[in-house]
Structure 1
Amino acid sequence: MNEGVMQYEHKTVLLNETVDSIDVKNGKLYVDATFGGGGHSGLILSKADDIRLFVFDQDIEAIENGKLNFSGEKRINFINDNFVNIKKNLQALGIKKVDGIIADLGVSSYQLDNADRGFSYMSDAKLDMRMDKNSSLTAEYVVNTYSKERLKHIIREYGQENWADRIAEIIVEKRAVKPITTTLELVDIIEKSIPKKLRDKHKHPAKRTFQAIRIEVNNEIDIIEKFIQDSFDMMNIGGRIAIITFHSLEDRAVKNSFKELSIDCVCPKEFPVCMCNTIQKAKILTKKPILPTDEEINSNPRSRSAKLRVLEKINEGDEKDKR
């Protein structure tokens, strides 16, 4: 990795825990489904000499900076696409199976800190929030065209914001007078929607609403299930999927998908013996998610809410032999 080139700054979360969990070995193929600043990828490449690594990122800036930082590294293949298209892209490259896949579902530090991207409620910028700049759906479109009921649902469901109804109501009132086009215009509306004495003192009042709109713009929750299923299909037996989440909706989606893949019996509980012929396809390696250490949280506060879950593929089949 070339030192001193990186401009795409990102503090990698749960770095060692994630890479250790996929058990990197020579002769194997691996995927970093959310390349970002390349922290996980760099550690994967350092673990073994004879491996191939395929990295995905829908943000072209991450890919371009990655190519600079890993110039001359022949073991890595860059793919500028959303990880939900993992199966299609790998198959197009002639890859049948891989041995380990990691994904960090958080927004990168670079995206959050780059005011021009419109993710931050701390600086003024055009309302954007697209991770993929080629996407047509922006935060500005969501804020200015979605109905009050749809805005309320998104803010409550994706942001878990108790003041969703009031925030949606004032957004609709304000945009009727003038379109809402910048982050700080939206922040001002949110702050006026939540009484000061009732705000969470430990969180910025706009944090939940911005999270909700970002999730909607990038379709972050709906694509998790498909990504996990397609990743599992592309996995060799013994291969592992490791996913880092940052809020409860993501974690619930990952947890439920892993649980569904690891089911070994669907018979009613009252059955004395298994009659369903279901075969267990996967094993959950993290009964409880792996959390960042206090030391990591102190050095990188954004890691505080991170959770790592790991799944291992143990079988291809769907049913036991019926005799």
Structure 2
Amino acid sequence: MEFHHVSILLEPCLEALQIKPDGVYVDATTGGAGHSLRIAERLHDTGRLICIDRDDEALENAKDRLKDVWQRVTPVKSDFRDIDKVLEGQGLAGADGILFDLGVSSPQLDHAERGFSYMQDAPLDMRMDRQQKLTAYDVVNGWSREEIRRILFEYGEERYAPLIAAAIERERADKPIETTLELVRVIKGAMPAKALREKQHPAKRSFQAIRIAVNDELGAVREAMEKAIDCLNPGGRLAVITFHSLEDRIVKAAFQQAAQGCTCPKDFPVCICGKKPKVRLTPRKPILPDEREIEENPRARSAKLRVCEKI
């Protein structure tokens, strides 16, 4: 697979990380390696960039994309929820900056054979790590109607989740649903006519939900945020790009909790909990792409960048 990828919020990320030439940095979602390249270019040979990804093809692409700075780069195949183990495995006590660019990468969406796209026909797959056992086929054909309804509603915020889940159950009773466009047909057939006239593709929310379920994306984000904050060196920065409200809610809550100090009732004369904030929010509100970036790359429209600094 060729990785043609436009890095979103690139300059704000680089500014947020405040890269030190001799520092240790982690790109926890290497993807197309666009962020990785610009981080590594700012490092001296005494600096180090750890590139993490679950996708073998992403890491293979990174070798070529980063060839001119490869002496500063260490690629690691891992789930970013294990960032603490990755750093420990590299003999590192912490990092000076960590970047997460969450969600599915452009190359995964653009290459039909990965099964992420509702616009092209392919086997139902959607695995970010192709060595993982669970696929979209397993979810669509093996999970109960109620469980499918739940993930469509919770992960896709799909208001027609009960209708779609029932249609999937009926369809697979005769034969398995094997491809992406077969699933699109079932989804569209379950939705009322007014929903099919909406600007957004009828299958977008359902495909998002199934992809999140296959890759346990939200569980990974929850686990990774807490660990990443603990993995930062004092003064280190954590920058996280999200693309939908479910991810952003988790990141926002993790940052706010880490930034909170004393939790004693306000009428207590002195603090007895002893809790101190771990981070400060820099800035307090998310950074959004400007109109020029959105015009050049429509996928940036829903992006938000949140940043915090270890105290």
Q: TM-score, normalised by structure 2?
A: 0.96
SS at match of 2:246: helix
2:67 alignment counterpart: 71
Deviation, structure 1 residue 81: 1.3
Superposed structure 1 runs of 4+ greater than 4 Å apart: none
1:18 alignment counterpart: 13
Identity of aligned residues (%): 49
1:185 corresponds to 2:194: no
Deviation, structure 1 residue 276: 2.2
Deviation, structure 1 residue 47: 2.1
Deviation, structure 1 residue 48: 3.3
Aligned length: 309
For residues 289 and 208 of structure 2, what CA distance do their matches in structure 1 show?
21
SS at match of 2:284: coil
For residues 186 and 166 of structure 1, what CA distance do their matches in structure 2 show?
14
Q: Deviations over 1:76-117 (max 9, x none)?
A: 000111111111121111111110000100211100000000
More displaced 10-residue stretch of structure 1: 242-251 or 88-97: 88-97
1:52 corresponds to 2:61: no
1:219 corresponds to 2:226: no
Deviation, structure 1 residue 224: 1.1
Deviation, structure 1 residue 274: 3.2
Higher helix share: 2
Provide closer, same or farther for how the CA distance between residues 7 and 198 of structure 1 changes in structure 2, counting only shifts above 3 A.
closer
Gaps of 5+ in 1: 1-5, 315-323
1:171 alignment counterpart: 168
2:121 alignment counterpart: 124
SS at match of 1:74: helix
SS at match of 2:22: coil
1:233 corresponds to 2:230: yes
For residues 286 and 159 of structure 1, what CA distance do their matches in structure 2 show?
29
2:141 alignment counterpart: 144
Deviation, structure 1 residue 275: 3.2
For residues 142 and 270 of structure 1, what CA distance do their matches in structure 2 show?
51
1:114 alignment counterpart: 111
1:198 alignment counterpart: 195
Amino acid at match of 2:11: N
Deviation, structure 1 residue 239: 0.3
SS at match of 2:41: helix
1:133 corresponds to 2:130: yes
Amino acid at match of 1:225: R
Amino acid at match of 1:52: R
Amino acid at match of 1:10: H
1:156 corresponds to 2:142: no
Q: Which of 258, 262, 267 is matched with 2:264 structurally? A: 267
1:100 alignment counterpart: 97
Q: Deviations over 1:163-187 (max 9, x none)?
A: 0000000000000011001000000
For residues 266 and 166 of structure 2, what CA distance do their matches in structure 1 show?
47
For residues 282 and 193 of structure 2, what CA distance do their matches in structure 1 show?
44
Q: Deviations over 1:119-152 (max 9, x none)?
A: 0000000000000001111000000011111000
1:313 alignment counterpart: 310
More displaced 10-residue stretch of structure 1: 78-87 or 192-201: 192-201
Deviation, structure 1 residue 189: 0.6
Provide closer, same or farther for how the CA distance between residues 200 and 243 of structure 1 changes in structure 2, counting only shifts above 3 A.
farther
1:37 corresponds to 2:32: yes
1:28 corresponds to 2:40: no
Q: TM-score, normalised by structure 1?
A: 0.93
Q: Deviations over 1:223-250 (max 9, x none)?
A: 1121112212221100011000000000
